[in-house]
Amino acid sequence: MDGALYLWAQDPAMKRELNAYLFREFGVGDSDADETKITDRWPFRLVEVLSFDHQGCAIHLFRFEDHGDAYYAVYGRSLTFFPVTGFTPDAAKYQIIGSAWIGSRDPVDLNTTRGDDPVVPRLPDRRRRFEALAAGLRPGSPVKILEGLFLEASREHLGLIAFESDGTAHIVGDRITVRNVPYAGASPWRRLSAGIGRLVVEGRLG
């Protein structure tokens, strides 16, 4: 961990800001007066697990628990949190980086239609493209499209599929394939983001 990032993460003001955010998100307390109780140690004990730089911004990852459930809280360009769901701190880092990579490319999902848009293919064509990508991995096997995106900025398909025969999930795209994506308990978006983030961190995807 970078020394400057580590020292910054020890700043009680950072944890207090996160706790104030989590106080509202989790609906802690019975009245506005309870907000005066917020400190760097309440309502949650935030334990730093990782700090890293992403595109010139320091990102700090904390772990905390609520009623026996484990979560990660993120302090960076914005504040957010999500369940641990088996993700190691490094996997959470991949998720954050991958989510930013995907988001910067204007993703259009399979719940969105664009009609005769000159760039985004029609919805049936996008579905058929993912079915074809799946057939390239395992011809003839029934498949479920867990997440199907068209990245408008780079004009390419990217998604997460699972074969019904064994439930194994794979990232597929016009130029990207990642087999056997882990974290079955997490949402398809998180699994896809983590897989893409790892490729970015390893220098295999620009």
Per-residue tens of pLDDT for the chain, all 206 residues:
444 444 444 579 999 999 999 999 999 876 666 888 999 999 999 999 999 999 999 999 999 999 999 999 999 999 999 999 999 999 999 999 999 999 999 999 999 999 999 999 999 999 999 999 999 999 999 999 999 999 999 999 999 999 999 989 999 999 999 999 999 999 999 999 999 999 999 999 98
Going by C-alpha positions, the residue among 165, 202, 197 that lies closest to residue 183 is 197
The label of the residue with tokens 């960076």 reads: 76
DSSP state of 34: G
**Two structure tokens written together for 135:** 């057939």
Phi, psi of 185 (to 5 degrees): -80, -10
Model pLDDT, residue 29: 72
pTM equals 0.91
Q: Are 160 and 183 in contact (CB under 8 A)?
A: no
Residue 116 buriedness (CB in 10 A; 0-12 / 13-18 / 19+): exposed
Q: What pLDDT shows up at residue 206?
A: 83
Q: What is the largest CA-CA distance in the chain?
A: 61
Residue 97 parent element (H or E): helix 89-103
Let me know: does 193 contact 165? Beta carbons within 8 Å. Answer: no
Residue 45, both tokens: 């004990």
* pLDDT score of 53: 96
Closest CA to 126 of 96, 158, 99: 158
Contact 205, 176 (CB under 8 A): yes
Report the length, in residues, of the chain: 206
Burial class (CB in 10 A: 0-12, 13-18, 19+), 162: buried
Number of neighbours of residue 62 by Cβ within 10 angstroms: 25
pLDDT of residue 49: 97
